[in-house]
Each structure stands twice: as C-alpha cells, then as structure tokens.
Structure 1
Amino acid sequence: MFEQLVEAADGISGAGAAGAWARIENAACARRLSAAADVLDRMYAADGSAERDQWILDNYAAVAAEIAPTQHVSLGLAASQLAIAVALRDRFPGVNAVFMTGAISYREVAAIVSRTRLVQDGDALAGVDAAIAGNVEEWTTLSLMKLHTKIDFWVDRFDPAAVRRAENSSRSRYVDVRDSGNGTGVAYIEATVYAHDGELIDQRLDAFAATVCENDPRTQEQRRGDALAAAVSGAKGLPCACGSNECPAAGLTASNVVVHVVASEDTLNDETPAELDGDKPVEAVEPDDPTLVGPAATGPGYVMGRRVVPAPIVAAKLAVARRRPVRHPGDAAPEKRRVPSAALAWFVRCRDLTCRFPNCDKPATQCDIDHTIPHPRGATQASNLKCLCRTHHLCKTFLGWRDRQHPDGTVDWLSPTGQKYTTHPGSRLLFPSLCRPTAPAVVDPSVDLLDDAVRCLKMPRRKRTREQSRADAIKAERQRNQPYADERNKPPPF
C-alpha cells in the first residue's frame, strides 16, 4: 500500500503533488507510531517488566526516552505520541486502518484519542471506533473546534458520561483576562511579557505550588493555576487542599525567586538606548545604505529556561542586578570532593545552559550536575561534569545509557539499543569562550563501578503505577460528567 502511494505521487504535479505527498506523510506517520508501540510491547515482554512498572522511570518512560532522540523530539512529545500510538492500536483498530492509508492526518487521530479518552466500556468503544472510522475521511477539512464537535457527537451517542465537557516582541506586552464563556466557571489569561519576567512568574508559581503537603489532591498544573491568584492577592503561599487539620504544610511560605541571565561583560555594559515602552513597533524598512548593516556590536543575553534576550534589554533591565562572573577553569586540577564548588558548578551550568541529553531543553539551573565518569572513579572537574535533568540523570544511571565527554563539553551518547547521538554545550554559539577545552578528565581505574543490577536496587519507586493513576483520573472525570448524562437521560417534562 505504501509503495503504491509513492508510485502514484511520482506521476502527479502541481498542487495535487503536494496533496499526494501529504497522504504519504500521513501513512508514514501511522507506521512510525506503530513502530513506537512495538517498542513498548517488547519492553513489556522483557523480563522484569512488572517490577519496572513500579519505578519512577517505568517501562513507558524508558521507551519514550529511547524513541525521543531517534525522532529528534523532546521526551514530552515522544511520550505524548507513544500514548496516541498505543491507543490507536489497542482502542481504535478501525481508525488506525484508515490512518495507515494516509487518508487522515496526525491532527485527526490525536483529536480522536484525546476526545475519547473517557470511553472505557468495550462495546461503547467498539461502537465509537466503527462510527468514527466510517466518517473521519469527511472531517479532514474541518477546523479543530468542528472536528471536536464531530467526535463528541459519537462519544455522546455511545457513552454520554465520556464527553470531555470541561477539560481540565518587547513593546507588544499585554495581559488579557476573559471569561471562558462556556459556563465552566473558569477564565482565560493571556499575556506577553519580557522573557526574564516570564521566567520569574514561572518559578514563582512553582514556588507557591510547592507550599502544600504531598496529600494535596491537585495536579501540579492545577496548583500553579491556583497559585497565580494566591500570589496576586498577596498570600505568602498556596493553601493546602488536603483537608487535614494537622497538615504539615500549614504556615509554609513560598521561597524567593531568582532569575538567571547569562551575558557577556560587553553586553552588560552596553549603553545603546532601547525603547522598551510605548506604542507597538512599526514594520521594519530597508536601510538606505545596505553597506552600513552589520553584526551587532554586543551579543545578546540568555535567560535560563527561556531564550535569547537582545543586548539593550539585558543592559537596561539588569543594570542594578547582582552580577556573578563566570570563570573558565582552564587547566585547573580536579577538586578533591564529589560535589563541585559553587564556582565550578556555575561554570558548568553557564557552559551547558540546558540538560545535555539529546533533544532536552530543561534549564541548567533546574538540572543535576552529573559526573560523566561516576565519582570517585571520575574526578570532579569541568571535563567530567555536565548538566542533566533528573529524568535523564535517572536514564543514564539506571536504564543503560552510556556517555563520553570531551574537554570542550561535547558529549557523545550511546542508547541501550546502540543508537549514537552527540550534543554540544548550549553556550557554543552564544558564548563560545565558555567552550574552550578544559583539562582532560582524570580517571582512577583502580575504582570499580557499581554493577547495573546493584544500581537498579536504588531506583526511586512510584506510589501507584502509571495505569492506576490514569484509571483514577478517568474515573474522576467521568464522575464529574455524570450529572450531564443523567440530565440528558431524563424524560421530557410533558
């Protein structure tokens, strides 16, 4: 079938060719998702899968970490696509068959999987699958809202309680608050702010959300939503919703927030005026003399966790900020300790800027400092240290990922199945001086490394499996929807 699609596309020209190749792309996407689901099947079939489902990095997370870099996507996106792949194969064979022909796109199948998540009865699910598979090819020209309406129609027909009714530039700055208009009692907030202000808000919400105890029933996203109102109202923390009179989080306050901006000294001292307020900027025009156009005199800054910030804004906004110089360690000898000094750790974070695992952009300030060659066999020095987010640190420690680090900070990765990847420090383009080679890593071959089996004994464990958490979430949402279904099934008042 796939080969026939390719042969047919070769004989088409014009706009029709674009459509033909789009269909091939859809069919290829269907096969890519099917291959991802097969990887998960093999993981579950391997020895010890039941035990691994109790790990923080369970079978599902391990597969997502494995397939993410093969597709050049983030761990979160790979995990989301894996969920859709499994749902298509196990819950929607009819829709999956249509997808395999290329007649529908990833947009349609993603919407179908999302809007039908609450359908659990086997007969109802089979009915929804058959109905949608028979009609979905006619929905490819619909807007996303109209597509959701079509899907919801069939969900409501077979399982009313399963309809997803309540899913839970610098001078262009603004904040807009508007009512949802759908009667759910929520409002939408949309804002455009400076990158560094956005980082501060993000961290502040996390800090507020962390002031509750572990029995608080809200998700992290829900706590952040509630934290916004608490912070604006002047509260010192987010009230815990555990309902206990002896809550250990009572009286906790949110911690202070620090926003890290990396910039060269020239940028911080730049006196070029910047118009940061006033009307929105007008469209740029071509310069009268193109020969006068050249690179900026000073480089931009970088907000940890966000993105590049133009030099004038960095200089204007951080003129009164506390400055902390980054010192390149050069050929300095290893430190005689496992935990790096504050100066060395700060250099590593500024050199790397993000997690060094392939396709991960977790800010370095939120990462662990990892010894590439485990201490004490490997020394505590810049050539043997890098930033890894907690998830990818666990991947390396427990899931068989191997890495090799070069003196300039480049890291070569080898996956458990033999795939090879290379990542470079985030400062390589913005602050290349931080990537000058440091002294080669010192290794003590007399120190033995822990066996993988021994390492796995220390893997953090879940309180509940992923499947148990998912089932509970579906049950709770269905219960919230049940009054709608009951009202719908009432006899008419005449």
Structure 2
Amino acid sequence: MTAEEPSEIRSESTAEPPPGTPPDPYLNPRHLSLVKPPLADFYDAIKDADREINQATARRAAAIYTAQRVLADVGRARAEAAERAGGPRPPWSPEEATKEEFTCEVSALLRLPRRTAETLIEASRTLAEDLPATRDALASGVISYRHAQVIMEQAWGIRVDDPEAAARARAVFEEVLVPDAEVLTVAKLADRARRVRERTHPETITARHQKSVEDRHVVFQALNDGMASLYLTGDAEKVQAAYHRTLDTALTLQGPEETRTLTQLAADVLTDVLIGGVTPDGLGAGVAAQVNVTVPVLTLLGKSEEPGYLAGYGPIDPDTARRLAAGAPSFTRLLTHPETGVVLSMGRDTYKPPAALKKWLEVRDETCTFPGCRRSAKRSDLDHSVEWQHGGETDAMNLAHLCPYHHAVKSYTRWSPRHLGDGRIEWTSPAGYSYIVEPSADMRPPRKPKPEPKPPVPFVDVWNLDPTPDDPTPF
C-alpha cells in the first residue's frame, strides 16, 4: 500500500476473536456468546442510527435545494411584475430580495448564523448539481455529512474561468475521494482531499494564492471560564513569521524567576503587542481597544461575588470586573444600580438619539437584534423599527441595532420587527414564522414591590359595650 492509498477500516462482528489474537487473561472468549442480546446487536444499532442520520442530512439538502429553485422562480416573477409596473428601483432587485428572504428564513428556522445558512444553501446546491456521486453516497448513508462537507469544501476551491474545465476537474476529484470517504476518518479525508485537489486543479498554486490572499481574516471565539480564542488566517509566511516572532520574544522572557510557561508567555506577549503595540510604519499609534464592562455595584464594592459582564463575551469573574472598573482607560465603566434609571424616550422631538440613550441601547442589545445575528452593536446601525417618516418615535421601545445586512433585509424584504415593550423584539418572516429575540441585558429599572396592605383597624363602639362581671363599665 503506497502513501497515496488510504488505509481501510473494515468491521465484522464475531463472537470469537480472529485467529492469532492473544488470549485475554481476564475473559474467556466464550463468555461473549453468553451476552444477551449479543454485543453485535448494539453495534449494529449504532451503525443503523448513523446511517439514518446521514440519509436525513441528504433529505434536508434536497429539500433546501428544491425550495431554493421554487423561490428563484418566485423572484423572477416578482422582477417581471416590477418591470411592468415601472417606477423607482430599490437597492435590491426582486430576485435579490427573494434570495435574501430565503437565506434569513433558513437561518432562523434552523437557528444558524447567516453565513452558516448561506453555506448550507450553497452545499445543497453543490450536492444537487456539481457532485452527484457525493450526493448518492450521502443519500445511501455510507458517508456522513461531515465527510461530504470535506469533499465540497475542497471542490469549491476548484474555480477557473472555464466552466467545462472546472467540471472535469471536479469529476476526477470526486471519483477519487468518494470511495476514500467510506473508509477514512474526517481528518484523514481532509488531508487526502487537499493533496488530490492540488493534483487535479487546472490552475497553478501561484495563481490560486493570488486570489486566496483576499480571503484573509480574523475570528474571535468566546470560550468557557472567562477565556477566548483569536484566529488569524492570512499569508502562510506572514502568519508563520508572526508566530515565530511571538515565540522568540517569549523565549527572551524566560528566566529563573519567571513562573510562567513558554506557552503562557507567548499568549501574554501577543495580547500585549496587539493591545498596546504599534506597527513599524506607525499604524496603531493612539488606538486603544474600546470595551464595555458592566459591573454590579455590590460587586464593585466587594460586597458580592456576582460576575461582571463583558460585552461581546459574557460573564467574567468578579476580580477581573473590579480591576477593569477601577480605571483601565480602554474600558467604558457602566455600573448597574437597583434604583437608578435613564431617560428612555425623546418622543417625536428629535430623530437622532441622545448619547445616553445610544449607550443604554448598546448595552441592552450588545449585538444586531435580527434572529441569530452576532454582529456587534458597535458595528451596527441604530434603526427605528417603525420608520421615523411613518410616525415612529425616537424611543427605546422603537429603536434597535441592526447590522448593515439585516438593516437592508428589514428595509427591502418582507421581514418585519415588532417591539413587545420589555426589550424583546418579535420578527415575522415572509413565510409567517415568528421569532422572538431577547435583549442581551435587562436594563429595565426593577419594579418596586407594592406595599402590603395594612389590616383594617377594628371599629369599637365604646358607647354600646355590654358590661360583664370581669369587665367593669368604662364610666
């Protein structure tokens, strides 16, 4: 077997171990035959359930693709109707609006981020139109959706100007990879798929790199216990150089008095440089990270161990919250108080929200308020849910953050929001589904409990009291 040939994983169930198996000193092999039901029944049930899951993902992909094709026809019909009607053209054409409606519908229906929903829709189309062998293997249950994703992700990278050349390359690529997907783990299949794609791609790696460099990006991911990760994707030589410089700097800090490990030092070096450093050309000078941290006032005073809240991340430990609130210049300190409120409405007197209201809404929403969207409120628009020109007020219960994309969805599609009066927003989709978005922080002043009613004072008619032997007459 060569390095290019995948090792196969085959499973056959027998009560007796295969010939040549060393004896188990703790178990007589014949004891396996006494298990009722046989162990093979459990393993067969696992395989059957896995096959059903794979088949279900194939049915989901087929349903998404069918709905996409139907709505494409609807979009064309709407475009033709708009063409006949004439009049001004909105920024999104009817076809674009219908497409984005569908993307948002799938996103909300399956509780997926928009980008994930877009990828799922494109994957469904790819399985239906470009990778028939992968689709059939998934539908029969012999490969998992994750294996199919590996094949699709590499096949998407086979992009050239000549569609026929790209189709031929994908066919060769798929012919090699689908049989491998039946016997390899996902990780091994991904490694093999990269090598096969390299051999079958019509373009050189140099030409492909020039296009791929445009996809460089940074991703932030929140983790548990007050931790997070930062992922950088860019030119291999630059990312590797940044890694080695970080590691080399960390090595210079090691010494007999240093208690931190090398990996801990490297993490500290990188964060310190990114937060306070300056690039060789001066880029970054005078720039400081701006972060909101909400600290309960009793935690700030040391009377409580209730966690603080770091915007864009979540709960942080009380000591960190107190340290940030104590005077870090790059943090906006927002203290919650059980009695203090803020002006929430400017009515129809002004269109532009005042600074205090904008800050209040930024903390309340934290992100775009469309279902499932995690775009930061700092990088979103503050939108009147009922448009100003239609009578909407500049009010906390009519204002909400929307990222530029979902702002356009609200303006140019049939998705519509409605404030429920307590910080929650109900979105209704074009298909009639309803989704409620909860506020990230409950900023309402707490309701004061109603005082307990005092018991009525009993009325005593002193003029008509009957005297008794033990109760002398009052007069």
Return the TM-score normalized by structure 2.
0.62
1:142 Cα deviation from its structure 2 partner: 3.1
1:73 Cα deviation from its structure 2 partner: 0.8
Give the structure 1 partner of residue 36 of structure 2: none
Letter of the 1:268 counterpart: L
Give the structure 2 partner of residue 97 of structure 1: 136
SS at match of 1:65: helix
Q: Does 1:83 align with 2:109?
A: no
Q: Does 1:390 align with 2:390?
A: no
Aligned partners of 2:409, 2:140: CA distance in 1, in Å?
A: 36
The counterpart of 2:316, out of the listed 302, 309, 313, is: 309
Give the structure 2 partner of residue 236 of structure 1: 282
Tell me the alpha carbon deviations over residues 337-361 of structure 1, each in whole angstroms, 9 at most, x when there is no partner.
1111111121112122222111112
Aligned partners of 1:305 and 1:363 also within 8 Å? yes
Aligned partners of 2:154 and 2:193 also within 8 Å? yes
1:313 Cα deviation from its structure 2 partner: 0.8
The counterpart of 2:306, out of the listed 277, 284, 299, is: 299
SS at match of 1:379: coil
Summarize the Cα distance change of 1:298–1:434 in structure 2 as closer, same or farther, 3 Å threshold.
farther
Note the aligned Cα RMSD (angstroms).
Answer: 4.3
Give the structure 2 partner of residue 452 of structure 1: none
Letter of the 1:142 counterpart: L
Aligned partners of 1:414 and 1:420 also within 8 Å? yes
Summarize the Cα distance change of 1:172–1:404 in structure 2 as closer, same or farther, 3 Å threshold.
closer
Aligned partners of 1:383 and 1:405 also within 8 Å? yes
Letter of the 1:360 counterpart: C
Aligned partners of 2:360, 2:231: CA distance in 1, in Å?
A: 39
Give the structure 1 partner of residue 181 of structure 2: 139
List runs of 5+ in structure 2 lacking aligned partners: 1-39, 81-88, 214-223, 247-262, 449-475
Q: Does 1:367 align with 2:409?
A: no
Aligned partners of 1:43 and 1:49 also within 8 Å? no
Tell me the alpha carbon deviations over residues 152-194 of structure 1, each in whole angstroms, 9 at most, x when there is no partner.
45445544537798665789999999x99x879844749889x
- Structure number with higher relative contact order (C-alpha < 8 Å, ≥ 6 residues apart): 1
Letter of the 2:106 counterpart: I
Tell me the alpha carbon deviations over residues 292-316 of structure 1, each in whole angstroms, 9 at most, x when there is no partner.
xxxxx33322222223212211112
Letter of the 2:353 counterpart: P
The counterpart of 2:296, out of the listed 252, 264, 267, is: 264
Summarize the Cα distance change of 1:87–1:436 in structure 2 as closer, same or farther, 3 Å threshold.
farther
The counterpart of 1:413, out of the listed 405, 416, 427, is: 427
Letter of the 2:377 counterpart: A
Q: How does 1:3-402 map to 2 (within 5 A)?
A: 14-45=42-73, 46-47=75-76, 60-116=99-155, 117-120=157-160, 121-122=163-164, 125-126=167-168, 128-129=170-171, 132-133=174-175, 136-140=178-182, 142-161=184-203, 168=213, 186-187=240-241, 189=243, 232-237=278-283, 256-270=288-302, 297-321=304-328, 323-324=333-334, 328-329=341-342, 334=347, 336-376=349-389, 377-402=391-416
Aligned partners of 1:436, 1:353: CA distance in 2, in Å?
A: 23
Aligned partners of 2:309, 2:319: CA distance in 1, in Å?
A: 13
Aligned partners of 1:95 and 1:129 also within 8 Å? no
SS at match of 1:81: helix
Give the structure 2 partner of residue 462 of structure 1: none
1:123 Cα deviation from its structure 2 partner: 5.5
How many residue pairs get matched? 354
Summarize the Cα distance change of 1:418–1:16 in structure 2 as closer, same or farther, 3 Å threshold.
same
1:68 Cα deviation from its structure 2 partner: 0.4
Summarize the Cα distance change of 1:198–1:262 in structure 2 as closer, same or farther, 3 Å threshold.
farther
Aligned partners of 2:291 and 2:311 also within 8 Å? yes
SS at match of 1:355: coil
Aligned partners of 2:271, 2:350: CA distance in 1, in Å?
A: 32
Aligned partners of 1:150, 1:20: CA distance in 2, in Å?
A: 27
SS at match of 1:23: helix
1:74 Cα deviation from its structure 2 partner: 0.6
Letter of the 2:158 counterpart: L
Return the TM-score normalized by structure 1.
0.60
Aligned partners of 2:383 and 2:402 also within 8 Å? yes
Aligned partners of 2:226, 2:130: CA distance in 1, in Å?
A: 48
Letter of the 1:315 counterpart: R
Aligned partners of 1:413 and 1:420 also within 8 Å? yes
Letter of the 1:151 counterpart: A
Summarize the Cα distance change of 1:150–1:344 in structure 2 as closer, same or farther, 3 Å threshold.
same
Summarize the Cα distance change of 1:59–1:151 in structure 2 as closer, same or farther, 3 Å threshold.
farther
Aligned partners of 1:269, 1:186: CA distance in 2, in Å?
A: 45
Aligned partners of 1:351 and 1:425 also within 8 Å? yes
Letter of the 1:17 counterpart: A
Tell me the alpha carbon deviations over residues 392-439 of structure 1, each in whole angstroms, 9 at most, x when there is no partner.
1111111111111011111111111212111111114xxx646879xx
Aligned partners of 1:200, 1:372: CA distance in 2, in Å?
A: 41
Letter of the 1:113 counterpart: M
Aligned partners of 1:351 and 1:434 also within 8 Å? no
Aligned partners of 1:408 and 1:435 also within 8 Å? no
SS at match of 2:333: coil
SS at match of 2:388: coil
Summarize the Cα distance change of 1:38–1:175 in structure 2 as closer, same or farther, 3 Å threshold.
closer
Aligned partners of 2:446, 2:399: CA distance in 1, in Å?
A: 13
Aligned partners of 1:176, 1:79: CA distance in 2, in Å?
A: 21
Letter of the 1:34 counterpart: A
